[in-house]
Structure 1
Amino acid sequence: MDRLTGELRRLQAEHAQQGAEKAALHQQLSRVQGEEAATLIVDTERLRASYQEADELLLAKIDRASDQLHQALADEQHAYDDLVRRVADVQAETTRTQQRLDQLRGQVVHTEEAAMLQEAGIYEYRHPLADAVAYKSELSSLKDRIKTLARRNGAVLAATDWHVNGSLTEGKKMVRDFSKLMLRAYNAEADNAVRTMRPHRLASLIDRLEKSRQTIARLGATMHILISDEYHRLRVRELELTADHLAKQEEEKERRRELREQQREEERLQKELERERSRLDKERRHYQSALDRLRASGSGHEAGAAESRDKLAEIESSLAAVDAREANIRAGYVYVISNLGAFGERMVKIGMTRRLEPMDRVNELGDASVPFRFDVHALIFSEDAVGLERKLHEEFEDRRVNRVNLRREFFYVRPAEVREALQRFAGQHLIEFREDSEAPEWRASTASQERGTLAAAGEAARHGEDS
């Protein structure tokens, strides 16, 4: 099209030039008119005829070029119109695809399971009951109601005026058969949700059941088949009660586990108290026997007798302390420990033990579950160790590591901050406080690793020099 336009412009310029030449010749003719008039007239007529022929040829070329240009413009317009129609078709197809995608997204059940722990106090009960037995009883009653509603044909709603081959009876039979099929599909989805229930999956399973109900309503729209609201509510309530039941079972299991741990701790404490009492009784009998012999031997042993009496008084005091520890269940040791190699320098564990020897409990915590032994920063004996531990936990509650399981008593706290908190609690006497972490196993392991790295680097350098 650009070529045709250029050609047309060239022809038009040529025509204009010829017109200018013709005018110049007419001027020249008028100046020399009278001189060789006859010859000039003949030449003029010849030139006029030549120019007329040239004008006709040029005009013909201009017309052809104009026609070609118009045809090219028409072709371009047709191609443009076709492109516009194709763009409109693509946009319409895109709109239809987006609508279909939105529809499919609406049918998708989001089954992303929250990675949440099933600990006591975490699950939010939909139907709070006293215990797992109560939930089981309520579930049994609910299942009876579901079965009764299904037997009374209250689970599925459907058309009652459907005809097949002009027969209302055959139509009702077909609707009844399809209703049973749809109800079986819905119940299969609901029963599978009950079987695979986990408390944290409740929302996704209810969503899946709702999508199943919507699908049945869409597929059964011709016969107006759909799951009734009442039946759907009962099945959703069944899912909620099942989730509550499982959560309550886990809660009771955790409570029993905690109770067993407390019982084991009490048994350990009782055995320690019995061993200590037995040891003190044995020492008391020993010193009492020695004192009796000294008394029987007469004078001259007053110093030994006094020492024995002092020792007996000390033993009696220790026995009284053992009896007091056995009677006072709140007495014990609060410990502040850390594990630099396992948890870093900004984390401590604050706990309590009633053991006579608190380091036994600390050593148990540093078993194979952590790579290194714990460092002890503080051991505080208190007549109310339970209360002291609670105060420390409340002091650093906003920096608790595990906010789900409160029995995990780790805090993002430096040992020095715990010491400052302890100094504010009147009446609590600190036996010992160490701010720095010794972490001998971790430091030795780190040093060994560094030596191994340096040795490997040196070996690599030697190989490089050899090569």
Structure 2
Amino acid sequence: MHAYLETLRAEKDRSATEVTQLRAELERLRAEMDRLGILGVQKLEEYRAQLERETAEKAAKGLAEHTNLQHRLAELRQQVLVTEEKALLQEAGVYEYQHPLHDAVAYQVALAGLQEQIKSLVKTDGGAVHTAVGWTVNGSTAQGRTMLRDYAKLMLRAYNAEADNLVRTLKPYKLPAAVERLGKVAATIVRLGKTMDIRIAEEYHRLRIRELGLTGDYQEKLAEEKERDREEKARLREERRLQQEIERERARLDKERQHYANALAALQTAGDTAGAAQLQERLAQIDTAIQDVDYRAANVRAGYVYVISNLGAFGEQMVKVGMTRRLDPMDRVRELGDASVPFTFDVHALFFADDAVSIEAQMHARLADRRVNLVNQRREFFYATPAEAKQHLMELTGSLLQYEEVPEALEYRQSRTQAQQNHSQTQPGAGRVLDSTGSGSRARL
């Protein structure tokens, strides 16, 4: 494409040069006519008019060609930009399917069928490779056919070795490069087999390119399905933890209620009215807690919506907006700050809702244009400040259980301070102060 652009630029320069030369020739002829003065005035005017018309026509033609070249250059530049953008998106993981199918199994079936076609063409005289006809060796047509067959088999083996290696090592985002490389291999075989007219059949080459496309699609679809499976398992683990949490809490409350009920019965038997009243109040509190636990177990959409950040890991302009059905939402926050990130998360906002699922979905919709991961919508990180998240959450809920504007980021801030102190201690002359005598002494940090 770059060579074609250079050709267009050369054509534009050539047209401009021709126009300049014609104008110079017109001026030269005018000067020559003035010098000779051998033609009549009318003839000279006619000749000059003719030259001016020709010059104007050439200039108009050159301008039209220049305009066409400019349009063509603009179109080619746009194609280059589109191609580069597509390559960058694919390298970043935004994959564009060549042959969209429903699932990985469908790609496996399609690949199996395609490979059968490839094997059929590879068989002797199957049409995978073309050669010259009527080649003779030592005057023998049979030896000529044998020689052509052997060389064609060797060339096809080299082509297939490269194609198989490209399929085996293919990464989805490198598909265009793999197709281009296979095309160069086919062109090399044409060049090396020029004497015997050996070349890879176009139909066979298209099948191998289609195999690359289907392989890339299959790998990407398989990765998507594995990611969905991983997230579904994580969801099920979360549900199982919640169920275990609810069962443990319900058992604890039932046991506690039984203790207080037994104590209440004893106080009532002993006639301790004041003590019995206190225990009655405590039993009422336990009954309320049991009702809350039962409600959480029955209502699968109830839970906590949270806004958290990790200053040390992601900076000041990124938050995570999610929800959890855990009885204690901080258990989920602590899990998110496990060994996969260098520092723990800070909670900025926390809100309990009967329909936390909808609140979370509306928050994600409001922050959609700030989403960090545009490929995987299940990643809940956004380029936003805690204050911006709070504003959206307040508009949706009207109140918050808690809100903190500035993240504590205790471990991160302590790590920064310690790193600065370590750096100061390793610098020559760092921390030196003047004592009362004017001599320098190193200050203790």
Whether TM-score is above 0.5 comes out as yes
Are 2:343 and 1:372 aligned?
yes
Aligned equivalents of 1:414, 1:228: Cα separation in 2: 59
**Contact preservation (8 Å) 2:319, 2:381:** yes
- Work out which of the residue numbers 325, 329, 341 in structure 1 matches 2:296: 325
CA distance in 2, matches of 1:404, 1:411: 13
Correspondence for 1:387: 358
Over residues 344-402 of structure 1, what are the superposed CA-to-partner deviations in whole Å (9 max), with x where a residue is unaligned? 32222212111111111112222333333222111111122122112112212222223
Give the equivalent residue in structure 1 for 2:104: 132
Residue 339 of structure 2 aligns with an amino acid whose one-letter code is A
Gaps of 5+ in 2: 1-83
Work out whether 1:226 is the aligned partner of 2:199.
yes
Is 2:394 the counterpart of 1:423? yes
Q: 1:405 aligns with which of 376, 381, 389?
A: 376
Matches within 5 A, 1:194-273: 194-273=167-246
Q: In structure 1, how many angstroms separate the alpha carbons of the residues matched to 2:134 and 2:385?
A: 78
Identity of aligned residues (%): 54
- Of the three residues 445, 451, 454, the one matched with 2:415 is 445
1:4-47 deviation line (CA, Å, top 9, x unaligned): xxxxxxxxxxxxxxxxxxxxxxxxxxxxxxxxxxxxxxxxxxxx
- Retained in 1: the 8 A contact 2:424–2:431? no
Contact 2:114/2:211 (8 A) holds in 1: yes
CA distance in 2, matches of 1:166, 1:367: 80
Q: Deviations over 1:273-321 (max 9, x none)?
A: 1110011111121122223334444xx4344434433333332222222
Distance in 2 (alpha carbons) for counterparts of 1:270 and 1:294: 36
Question: Could you list the per-position Cα deviations for residues 398-439 of structure 1 after superposition, in whole angstroms to 9, with x for gaps in the alignment?
Answer: 2222323333322221111111111211x4531011112222
Encode CA deviations 1:151-203: one digit per residue, 9 max, x unaligned: 24211122222233333322222222221111111111111111111211211
Seen in structure 2, the aligned counterparts of structure 1 residues 180 and 384 have a Cα distance that, compared at 3 Å, is same
In the superposition, the TM-score normalised over structure 2's length comes to: 0.72
RMSD: 2.8
Which letter maps to 1:328? N
Q: Does residue 362 of structure 1 match 2:333?
A: yes
Equivalenced residue count is 351
Q: Which residue of 1 aligns with 2:37?
A: none
Structure 1 unaligned regions, length at least 5: 1-109
Letter in 1 for 2:194: A
Query: Does the CA-based 8 Å contact 2:303-2:355 persist in structure 1?
Result: yes
1:144 aligns with 2:119: no
How far apart are the structure 1 equivalents of 2:420 and 2:144?
85
Residues 86-118 of structure 1, C-alpha deviations (whole Å, 9 max, x = no match): xxxxxxxxxxxxxxxxxxxxxxxx9xx869678
Aligned partners of 1:380 and 1:428 also within 8 Å: no
- Describe the shift of the 1:146–1:446 C-alpha distance in structure 2 as closer, same or farther (beyond 3 A): closer
The alpha-carbon deviation at position 228 of structure 1 amounts to 1.2
Structure 2 counterpart SS, 1:418: helix
Q: Secondary structure at the match of 1:413?
A: coil
Name the aligned partner's letter for residue 209 of structure 2: V
Q: Could you tell me how far apart the structure 1 residues matched to 2:115 and 2:430 are?
A: 74
Report if the CA contact (8 A) 1:118-1:247 is conserved.
no
Residue 347 of structure 2 aligns with an amino acid whose one-letter code is V
**In 2, Cα distance between equivalents of 1:125 and 1:153:** 30
Question: Letter of the aligned partner of 1:282 in structure 2?
Answer: K
SS of the residue aligned with 1:355?
Answer: coil
Moved more, 274-283 or 173-182: 173-182
Map 1:17-416 to 2 at 5 A: 122-151=94-123, 152-297=125-270, 300-416=271-387
Q: Which shows bigger deviation, 270-279 or 165-174? A: 165-174
Q: Tell me: CA distance 1:267–1:118, structure 2 relative to 1, closer, same or farther (3 Å).
A: farther
Most deviating of 210-219 and 437-446: 437-446
In 2, Cα distance between the equivalents of 1:180 and 1:149?
Answer: 12
